[in-house]
Amino acid sequence: MRAAVYARVSSEEQVEGYSIDAQRRAFQALVKGREWTAYREYIDEGKSARTDNINRRPAFKEMVVDALAGKFDVLVVHKLDRFSRNLRITLEYFDKFSKAGVTLLT
């Protein structure tokens, strides 16, 4: 399995245990434990996930393009709110990923 991680933190969350480094370490441990291949890390630092404009999160936008192109099989996110805080966006991309054969793992 080729796995990718999407990590995001807004500036105020840095001190609440959601640091990029913590999200990356958890991903690396998961990949190693499951004997998957780490494809890529998509990182958005200091970006809000409340908006429905994915252009404001460049790593998210690039991750979506790669997922739909079949470049990885599973997307790992530390918590669902790292992916999006907008329910419509979350459901829309879950559907797109499912149709592309990409599994989301939180």
Q: What is the pLDDT of residue 99?
A: 97
Domain 2-105 grouped into CATH 3.40.50.10800: no
Residue ranges of the domains in the chain? 2-105
Q: What is the pLDDT of residue 19?
A: 85
Q: What is the pLDDT of residue 45?
A: 83
Answer left, alpha or beta for residue 84, where phi above 0 means left and psi between -120 and 50 means alpha: beta
For the beta carbon of residue 27, count every other beta carbon within 10 angstroms: 21
Contact by Cβ (8 Å): 83, 49: yes
pTM across the whole model: 0.88
Splitting the chain (106 residues) into consecutive groups of 10 residues, what average pLDDT does each group show? 92 65 93 98 79 81 97 95 85 95 96
**For residue 84, what is the DSSP state?**
-
Q: What is the pLDDT of residue 57?
A: 87
Tokens of 106: 């939180």
Q: What is the pLDDT of residue 36?
A: 98
